[in-house]
């Protein structure tokens, strides 16, 4: 019998801009799962790619004065190089502009049409270009804004093809009920069930007002809606619709589509309904992970707060960045990104706990045994406990990763690291070395530490791309640690005594927190380029800018960035939180008249409600200046 198969995918990314650390998060998580499954002996197919068509890309390309093709080629080359830098082990990369994809998408469209599930009619409704999403009158509300991202939507009226989604609602509900693990985590499953129960309309699946897309086979004036185009990548990459469907037959249905929470709806409703209509089996699981957010909100190009993964890797190394992303955020939940937390994790977990364990162990093997791993003798309670923790950890990882809890798996590995460090303190090898007759005991202790490190190196393979090999080499072991099977972590005592260790440089040098942060965030946070897209006066008019006088300011506890303001807007007083503590002293601000966005939806920053936003200018050198008015004017005066 062949190996069991495991097919997992990331979303395919829009090449509307370079990728930021939030995008890298999805792919790093998928890569960890792919590597783990390979270690467990699966025949893994790990797919990622780029989602290159649609109105958004066509517009961005035009704003940059190049053809869509030129634009996407350049950005996609950047994606591929980022994945290499992050040591992503994808087995394939699909571009939706590739022939293999176009052929498959047209075949799918034709098939749905032939089966009577696609029909021609007229679409009139709302469209969000950044999300490439259709919305009904009810969903955009009176303000005419996108239900998902809150940006203004555009009115669209055009002849279109429609997919009979409504027809599949009951079958879908039944499927989801019978397959409780299909949508995860459970909270997202419930959301999707309510969405479908609230009534589905047929989906508009073609556009005629722009041409950057795959042509509808029987009507070339139309291009296929970018989400139908994009979702199909999961099977076109396997050759579906081509002359050679072997890979498709081998790997489909996918075991896991890993996606961010905002696109769960497309993956769990539209995609499965397309597959139902095509009579193709559905993927086994769609997991919607949370977002990586900054103190100032979700990372976004327009806010100018995107964190560039390439700069971070350059500064701290690929293992450290991957470790931080996977360890810090409970998979499924939203997590806050901060460079400070990153540096603290590197120092505490990698440099101190892991780095020191390796360094201390090898130094003692060199000092007491000339660098040769000694032969152990009979095990006592402490030794048995160390071995038992190693076994329990392996078991815990298996269970955690079955639930895709990557951060739990890493926490489990650090239990073993912690136990091994404690074992050094309990067994005090430096005292054993001085005492008469304790040589055999010292041998056992140092053998066990080296054995624990062998297992730790193996356990780390899915998450850290370079450290396991470095540990392996320093332990004097040969062969490729990444190619060894999982079984090797489950057997204690297979390290061969007599192996000669090769202690090297510390694998994770300590980082000076203060210095890293001083140099810091201005380097990793790219400033937004001047906006190319012009907005109308009506769009500008939606902003309610007011003069706000500061009546009180205090620092937010446990944050070195946030200040909490009380401001007077003439007719009312408000509380606003702003991330400017590095630049402004609270006592200098009271009495100042600042400029504030008064009609922003309230948000919570570190649990404190901020009802508005204070405006400030910042430059690439890290300077900041608050906006104010140049002569006295009434509090609450409108700015236009």
**Site of interaction with ligand MSP (CB under 6 A):** 11-14, 22-23, 25-26, 51, 230-231, 233, 259-260, 262-263, 291-292, 298-299
Find the shortest distance in angstroms from Cβ 171 to ligand MSP: 22
Find the shortest distance in angstroms from Cβ 277 to ligand MSP: 17
- Rounded Cα distance, 535 and 344, in Å: 42
Q: How far is CA 101 from CA 259, 484, 550, in A?
A: 20, 35, 57
Minimum CB distance to ligand MSP smaller for 55 or for 427: 55
CB 331 within 8 A of CB 289: yes
C-beta contacts of 183-191 below 8 A and 24+ residues apart: 183/264, 183/268, 183/285, 183/286, 183/288, 184/285, 184/286, 184/287, 184/288, 184/332, 184/404, 185/287, 185/288, 185/332, 188/261, 188/264, 188/268, 188/288, 189/268, 191/264
Minimum CB distance to ligand MSP smaller for 101 or for 419: 101
Find the shortest distance in angstroms from Cβ 405 to ligand MSP: 17
Minimum CB distance to ligand MSP smaller for 51 or for 396: 51
Find the shortest distance in angstroms from Cβ 368 to ligand MSP: 48
Minimum CB distance to ligand MSP smaller for 337 or for 369: 337
Minimum CB distance to ligand MSP smaller for 23 or for 222: 23
Find the shortest distance in angstroms from Cβ 125 to ligand MSP: 21
Find the shortest distance in angstroms from Cβ 260 to ligand MSP: 2
CB 380 within 8 A of CB 433: no
Nearest residue to 126 (alpha-carbon basis) of 144, 143, 151, 142? 144
CB 600 within 8 A of CB 578: no
Find the shortest distance in angstroms from Cβ 231 to ligand MSP: 5
Name every residue whose Cβ is closer than 8 Å to that of residue 460 and which is 6 or more positions away in sequence: 413, 467, 468, 471
Minimum CB distance to ligand MSP smaller for 263 or for 350: 263
Encode 508-552 in three state secondary structure: CCCCCHHHHHHHHHHHHEECCCCCCCCCCHHHHHCCCEEEEEEEE
Task: Name the pairing type of β-strands 603-605 and 608-610.
Answer: antiparallel
Quote the tokens at residue 516. 């890293």
Minimum CB distance to ligand MSP smaller for 305 or for 474: 305
Burial environment of residue 168 by CB neighbours within 10 A (0 to 12, 13 to 18, 19 or more): buried
Q: How far is CA 15 from CA 48, 49, 178, 234, in A?
A: 13, 10, 37, 18
Find the shortest distance in angstroms from Cβ 291 to ligand MSP: 4
- Rounded Cα distance, 211 and 267, in Å: 25
Nearest residue to 123 (alpha-carbon basis) of 222, 55, 49? 222
Find the shortest distance in angstroms from Cβ 299 to ligand MSP: 4
Task: Name the pairing type of β-strands 545-555 and 638-639.
Answer: antiparallel
Count of CA atoms in the C-beta half-sphere (13 A) of 258? 28
Nearest residue to 303 (alpha-carbon basis) of 149, 159, 193? 149
Find the shortest distance in angstroms from Cβ 406 to ligand MSP: 14
Find the shortest distance in angstroms from Cβ 255 to ligand MSP: 16
Minimum CB distance to ligand MSP smaller for 96 or for 361: 96
Minimum CB distance to ligand MSP smaller for 12 or for 594: 12
Find the shortest distance in angstroms from Cβ 226 to ligand MSP: 8
How many distinct helices (H) and strands (E) make up the chain?
Answer: 24, 28
Element (H, E) at 445: helix 439-460
- Rounded Cα distance, 457 and 346, in Å: 17
Minimum CB distance to ligand MSP smaller for 46 or for 486: 46
Quote the tokens at residue 543. 């902003």
- Rounded Cα distance, 588 and 563, in Å: 12
- Rounded Cα distance, 550 and 258, in Å: 46
- Rounded Cα distance, 382 and 394, in Å: 19
CB-based closest residue to ligand MSP? 260
Minimum CB distance to ligand MSP smaller for 11 or for 239: 11
Find the shortest distance in angstroms from Cβ 268 to ligand MSP: 12
Residue 475 — left, alpha, or beta (φ > 0 → left; ψ -120 to 50 → alpha)? alpha
Minimum CB distance to ligand MSP smaller for 15 or for 374: 15
Residue 586: φ, ψ to 5°: -55, -40
Minimum CB distance to ligand MSP smaller for 300 or for 356: 300
Name every residue whose Cβ is closer than 8 Å to that of residue 344 and which is 6 or more positions away in sequence: 513
Minimum CB distance to ligand MSP smaller for 14 or for 252: 14
- Rounded Cα distance, 141 and 199, in Å: 17
């Amino acid at each position: 019998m062949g190996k069991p198969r495991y097919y997992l995918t990331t979303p395919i990314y829009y090449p509307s801009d370079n990728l930021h650390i939030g995008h890298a998060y999805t792919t790093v998580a998928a890569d960890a799962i792919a590597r783990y499954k390979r270690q467990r002996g699966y025949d893994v197919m790990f797919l990622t790619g780029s989602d290159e068509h649609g109105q958004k890309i066509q517009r961005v390309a035009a704003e940059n004065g190049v053809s869509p093709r030129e634009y996407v080629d350049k950005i996609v080359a950047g994606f591929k190089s980022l994945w290499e830098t992050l040591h992503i082990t994808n087995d394939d990369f699909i571009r939706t502009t590739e022939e293999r994809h176009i052929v498959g998408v047209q075949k799918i469209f034709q098939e749905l049409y032939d089966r009577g599930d696609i029909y021609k009619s007229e679409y009139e409704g709302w469209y969000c270009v950044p999300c490439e999403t259709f919305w009904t009158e009810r969903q955009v509300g009176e303000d005419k804004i996108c239900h998902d991202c809150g940006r203004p939507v555009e009115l669209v009226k055009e002849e279109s093809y429609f997919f009979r989604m409504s027809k599949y609602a009951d079958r879908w509900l039944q499927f989801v009920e019978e397959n409780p693990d299909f949508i995860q985590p459970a909270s997202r499953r419930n959301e999707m069930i309510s969405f479908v129960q609230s009534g589905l309309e047929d989906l508009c699946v073609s556009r005629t007002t722009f041409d950057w897309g795959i042509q509808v086979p029987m009507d070339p004036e139309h291009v296929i809606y970018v989400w139908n185009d994009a979702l199909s990548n999961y099977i076109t990459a396997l050759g579906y619709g081509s002359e050679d469907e072997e890979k498709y037959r081998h790997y489909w249905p996918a075991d896991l589509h890993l996606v961010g929470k905002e696109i769960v709806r497309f993956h769990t409703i539209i995609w499965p309904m397309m597959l139902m209509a095509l009579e193709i089996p559905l993927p086994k699981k769609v997991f919607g992970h949370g977002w990586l957010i900054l103190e100032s909100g979700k990372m976004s190009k327009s806010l100018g707060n995107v964190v560039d993964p390439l700069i971070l890797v350059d500064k701290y190394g690929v293992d450290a960045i991957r470790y931080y992303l996977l360890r810090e955020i409970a998979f499924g939940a939203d997590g806050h990104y901060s460079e400070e937390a990153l540096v603290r994790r590197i120092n505490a977990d990698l440099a101190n706990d892991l780095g020191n364990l390796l360094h201390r162990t090898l130094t003692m093997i060199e000092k007491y045994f000339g660098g040769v791993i000694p032969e152990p003798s009979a095990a006592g309670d402490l030794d048995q406990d160390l071995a038992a923790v190693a076994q329990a950890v392996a078991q815990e990882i298996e269970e955690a990763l079955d639930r895709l809890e990557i951060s739990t798996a890493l926490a489990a590995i650090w239990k073993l690291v912690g136990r091994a460090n404690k074992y050094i303190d309990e067994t005090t090898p430096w005292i054993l070395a001085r005492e008469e007759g304790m040589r055999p005991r010292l041998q056992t202790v140092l053998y066990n530490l080296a054995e624990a490190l062998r297992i730790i190196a193996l356990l780390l393979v899915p998450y850290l791309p370079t450290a396991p090999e470095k540990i392996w080499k320093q332990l004097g072991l040969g062969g490729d640690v990444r190619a060894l099977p999982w079984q090797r972590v489950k057997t204690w005592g297979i390290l061969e005594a007599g192996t000669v260790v090769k202690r090297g440089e510390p694998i994770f040098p300590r980082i000076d927190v203060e210095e890293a942060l001083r140099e810091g965030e201005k380097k990793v946070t790219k400033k937004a380029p001047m906006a190319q897209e012009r907005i109308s006066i009506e769009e500008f008019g939606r902003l309610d800018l007011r003069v706000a006088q500061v009546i009180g300011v205090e620092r937010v506890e446990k944050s070195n960035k946030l200040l909490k303001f009380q401001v007077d807007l003439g007719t009312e007083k408000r509380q606003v939180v702003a991330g400017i503590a590095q630049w402004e002293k609270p006592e200098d601000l009271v009495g100042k008249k600042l400029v504030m966005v008064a009609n922003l939806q309230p948000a919570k920053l570190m649990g404190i409600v901020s009802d508005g936003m204070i405006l400030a200018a910042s430059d690439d050198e890290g300077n900041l200046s608050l906006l104010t008015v140049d002569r006295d004017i009434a509090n609450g005066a409108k700015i236009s």
